[in-house]
Structure 1
Amino acid sequence: MNNKTDFSMSTLDAFVGKELGVSNWLVVDQERINQFAQCTGDHQWIHVDVERARKESPFGAPVAHGFLTLSLLAAMGMEIGLVPKDAVASFNYGLNKVRFIAPVKAGARVRARVSVAEVTDQGGGRKLVKLNNTMEIEGEDKPALIAETLAVLVGVA
């Protein structure tokens, strides 16, 4: 087992300690950063003032919001296939730990690497899944972030 084609609600436990997959690379461009700033109201210059960031930022360029980078985990997880095909629903249950390790400069490419850390049967067809996520930055030694996320997967009871 542990082949991704075997990934189902009944086999989740067999994937504990295993990597589920790696997402495709995604460009975090200035437009995405600006849209996130507009959506959240976080217009700090280090994110949205390109000229000032080039001149004054210790990174020499604008950088993505940490929470923008964190939010990308949801779509990347779906791309990887974190929700088994036989699950009837999945819910974000929260975060245990997040650390923002390195900034993501505007124009950088990132991808998520995800593994299953723990599975807890909650009864009624529900399973709490703890995932270890690493957001890698192309060409960088350090990841953008590491995050321990929680999801509740619901199968047929």
Structure 2
Amino acid sequence: MSSLTLAGLGQKVGHELGVSSWVTIDQARIDAFASCTGDRQWIHVDVERAKRESPFRAPIAHGYLTLAMVASLAMEIGVIPRDAAAGLNYGIDKVRFLAPVSAGARVRLRVSLAGIEPRDGGQMIMRTQNTLEVEGSEKPALIAETLALLIPAAGAHRQ
């Protein structure tokens, strides 16, 4: 469970909230993503062709697959305050895909709290800076500034 609270978020602005465990992005996950989205571009799903023709000499994960990993890894870190009934995706202000993630590579997420914006009814918008690191790479796979709408649980401290 998260150690964060809605009332205490203001003190965490500008600080790192945590780092996830390493997760392997294997070919099976890439293929499943391709199946779900219909994005079957050869650079992702044709292993032999990617080994021969790709500048990366291996299949790479879809950029949007790496972006989709942000939510689950952020939940693992515990970025939603414990007195919030829900934390809902509210948007992404900026995403940059900086390095490919080859099939079999491991990634982890590093999250910092960039800001909060109080809303009516004790709700707030939480802005986080998310960096998806690739093991053994100097460049992260992506950097994304995401927004979550935090809804307080019944009886939670109202600001």
Q: Which residue in 1 is equivalent to 2:150?
A: 153
Q: Could you say which residue in structure 2 is the equivalent of 1:47?
A: 44
Q: What are the Cα deviations for residues 85-120 of structure 1, in whole angstroms up to 9, with x where unaligned?
A: 111111000100000000000000000000000100
Residue in 1 that maps onto 2:65 = 68
Partner residue of 2:29? 32
What is aligned with 1:139?
Answer: 136
Unaligned runs of 5+ in 2: none
Counterpart of 1:103 in structure 2 is 100
TM-score, length of structure 1 as denominator length: 0.95
How many Å separate the matches in 2 of 1:97 and 1:12?
22
The match for 1:90 is 87
Amino acid at match of 2:52: K
Once the two structures are aligned, what percentage of the paired residues are identical?
A: 58
Report the secondary structure of 1:124's partner residue. helix
1:20 aligns with 2:10: no
In structure 2, what residue type is equivalent to 1:88? A
Counterpart of 2:84 in 1: which secondary structure? coil
Matches of 2:140 and 2:87, distance apart in 1: 27
Amino acid in the other structure paired with 1:22: V
